[in-house]
Every structure is written in structure tokens, then in C-alpha cells.
């Protein structure tokens, strides 16, 4: 059952974009908050409990190749539980957002060296969503960081 008081409180802080169930059957409200060039999407459960929440932090920047166009940079995606669909839910709403904004022509981001233990999973995730994934390697040929991009 939906906690109406909780939803009304969320509306004070976020724009509610929709509701989705992940692969575990957990209901989430997908919420967004915009602050200048920063945009955060967060999935919140139907209660005040259950931290931490899956979220995606985005930055809108000018495209270096065309000043009349913008790019969205994925600054961070945080999903405490992996492989249950939370990241894909966030990605779905990111694509809806950029499809409504005609000046955004690319989505870019980096894969940090701190994620080295997860490169295979991250590569699969981004390719599944249509991104080109490029890894940088050290002199031993080991992947040390990466770059993602998707033209719209």
C-alpha cells in the first residue's frame, strides 16, 4: 500500500517521475532534483526506511564540439544491491529525460579506477544500454579506467 503522507513529503523536495518495480519486486518512486547544471535521480522506496537508495548524479555541460549542443555527464551511479535492475530503472528515466531535451545530443561518463574489480559488470551494463565503452590500459595491458559515450 502506498504511504500517501510519504509521497506528499517527497513532492516538497523532488519531482516524482514515476514508479517502478525492480527484479526483486520492490516498488520504488523515481524522483529527480535539479540544481543549476546538476541533476540527480534517486529511487525511493514506499517508506522512510531502507537507506541507501540507488541514485544517479548527472551534470549538464556544453559540448566541446558544438556550443549550441549540450552533453549529459554521468558523474556517478550508486546502486548498493547489484544485478536486480535498479541501475536499468535509472537509465530508463535518464533516456526519457534526454529525449525530452532537444539540445542534449550525447551522454558521456567515466569508469573510475576504483571500480577495477567491477569492469566486466560495468562494461556489460553500459553496452546493454547502447553505450560505447572504451578502456584505458597501463603498460602491462591491464584496464585501469574507462570512458563511456552514447550519441543520441
What is the predicted pLDDT for the residue at 43? 84
101: confidence class by pLDDT, cuts 50, 70, 90:
confident
Chain CA centroid to CA 103, Å = 19
* Counted domains in the chain: 1
CA separation for the pair 148, 93 (Å, rounded)? 18
pTM for this entry: 0.88
Where residue 100 sits, what CATH number does that domain have?
3.40.630.30
pLDDT number for residue 20: 92
- pLDDT tens for 108-141 read 999 999 999 999 999 999 999 999 999 999 999 9
Residue 92: exposed, middle, or buried by beta-carbon count in 10 A (0-12, 13-18, 19+)?
Answer: middle
The pLDDT tens digits for 2-33 are: 667 777 777 888 888 998 999 998 888 899 99
* Structural domain containing residue 144: 4-151
Amino acid at each position: 500500500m502506498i504511504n500517501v503522507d510519504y509521497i506528499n513529503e517527497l513532492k516538497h523536495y523532488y519531482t516524482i517521475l514515476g514508479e517502478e518495480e525492480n527484479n526483486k519486486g520492490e516498488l520504488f518512486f523515481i524522483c529527480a532534483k535539479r540544481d543549476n547544471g546538476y541533476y540527480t535521480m534517486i529511487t525511493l522506496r514506499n517508506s522512510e526506511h531502507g537507506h541507501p537508495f540507488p541514485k544517479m548524479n548527472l551534470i549538464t555541460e556544453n559540448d566541446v564540439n558544438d556550443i549550441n549542443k549540450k552533453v549529459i555527464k554521468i558523474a556517478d551511479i550508486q546502486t548498493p544491491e547489484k544485478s536486480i535492475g535498479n541501475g536499468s530503472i535509472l537509465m530508463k528515466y535518464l533516456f526519457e529525460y534526454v529525449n525530452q531535451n532537444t539540445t542534449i545530443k550525447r551522454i558521456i561518463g567515466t569508469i573510475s579506477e576504483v571500480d577495477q574489480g567491477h569492469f566486466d559488470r560495468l562494461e556489460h551494463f553500459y553496452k546493454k544500454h547502447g553505450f560505447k565503452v572504451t578502456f584505458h590500459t597501463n603498460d602491462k595491458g591491464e584496464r585501469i579506467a574507462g570512458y563511456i559515450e552514447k550519441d543520441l
